[in-house]
Structure 1
Amino acid sequence: MLDDRQFREAMGKFATGVTVVATEVDGNIHGMTANAFMSVSLNPKLVVVSIAEKAQMLEKIKQSGTFSVNILAADQQEVSMIFAGQLKNHQEVVFEHLNGVPVLSNASAQISCEVSAAHVEGDHTLFIGKVTDIRIEDAEPLIYYSGKYRRLAED
């Protein structure tokens, strides 16, 4: 039988970008750091985020029916840590709106979505998002690998 630690360690060997998923309910913006994100389809344009059952964000996305995926730039490690609950004392994070959905300033990509489907799998819900708008900045990505933040190195 595989243990949880071994599974986590193996999954951590897959280098990913870092995103903050955000939504707005009753005028309040909610965000969480996530690396479980991928594109699903070009036509129609669909993405998926995986949200844990125990995450507060799960109900927020169900209530709003919309979310954004903000792909963080290399200089946004602190933002990632804030939305991962790792920094308690921090400056306020400023959001903009893209197609009515909150997005993070200076992210390398901001993707606004409408929920088109939700699939419960194990202890997570996969939200399929129909992409409604995109804004892109020219910035180096923030990378996460083996439990640590990293940056791309030039050859």
Structure 2
Amino acid sequence: MEDRLFRNAMGKFATGVTVITTNVNGSIHGMTANAFMSVSLDPKLVVISIGEKASMLKHIQQSGTFTVNFLSAQQQELSMLFAGQIKENRHVTFGDLQGAPTIEGAIAQVSCEVASTYMEGDHTLFIGRVKNIHLEDGEPLLFFNGRYGALSAETTLQV
């Protein structure tokens, strides 16, 4: 199977967009990721997937912690910055969730302690034990078919 076919198929799964942050010896690091999911309610666990070539891999291994920041529909530029799509240096102001670095304006911030690590293929899966959560109102930034998007009033399901 060709890599492009696999990537195209995975792009058909609409996801939210997150920025994963961590603090290593007072230096905050971040990367855009959509490979995130909740794992368990009891105990409260989530998983993120980090590629073997990503510098974030060693940062999370060193810190033993990470924060998942769910970006709002207004934060596409931040996603692009942390994905390396914007090359120029920009100042980012980070928030703090009881010692965990956060992206201000994110609609959810979930701070975690690494509970376990699994290497599979060309990625490492970090299972995180949720330590704290902060929520904000707002619409999520979405990613589908290689493009950013947002919910609209016409497509939002009412339950």
Do residues 119 (structure 1) and 96 (structure 2) align? no
Deviations 1:35-86 (A, max 9, x none): 0000000011000000000000000000000000000000000000000001
Aligned length: 154
Deviations 1:87-123 (A, max 9, x none): 1225311101112110110100000000000000100
TM superposition outliers: structure 1 runs of 4+ over 6 Å: none
The letter for the 1-side match of 2:136 is: E
Do residues 33 (structure 1) and 26 (structure 2) align? no
- TM-score between both structures, scaled by the size of structure 1: 0.97
* Range that drifts further, 98-107 or 13-22: 98-107
The alignment partner of 1:74 has SS state of coil
Q: Which residue of 2 aligns with 1:87?
A: 86
Q: Which residue of 1 aligns with 2:56?
A: 57
Superposed, 1:5-154 pairs within 5 Å as 5-89=4-88, 91-154=90-153
Distance of 2:136 and 2:25 partners within structure 1: 29
Distance of 2:92 and 2:140 partners within structure 1: 19
Sequence identity percentage: 62
The alignment partner of 1:79 has SS state of helix
**What do you get for the CA RMSD once the two structures are aligned?**
0.7
> How far off its partner does 1:17 sit?
0.2
Distance of 1:20 and 1:101 partners within structure 2: 13
The letter for the 2-side match of 1:107 is: A
Gaps of 5+ in 1: none
Distance of 1:128 and 1:134 partners within structure 2: 16
The letter for the 2-side match of 1:151 is: A
Distance of 1:145 and 1:46 partners within structure 2: 25
Distance of 1:82 and 1:93 partners within structure 2: 10
The alignment partner of 2:74 has SS state of helix
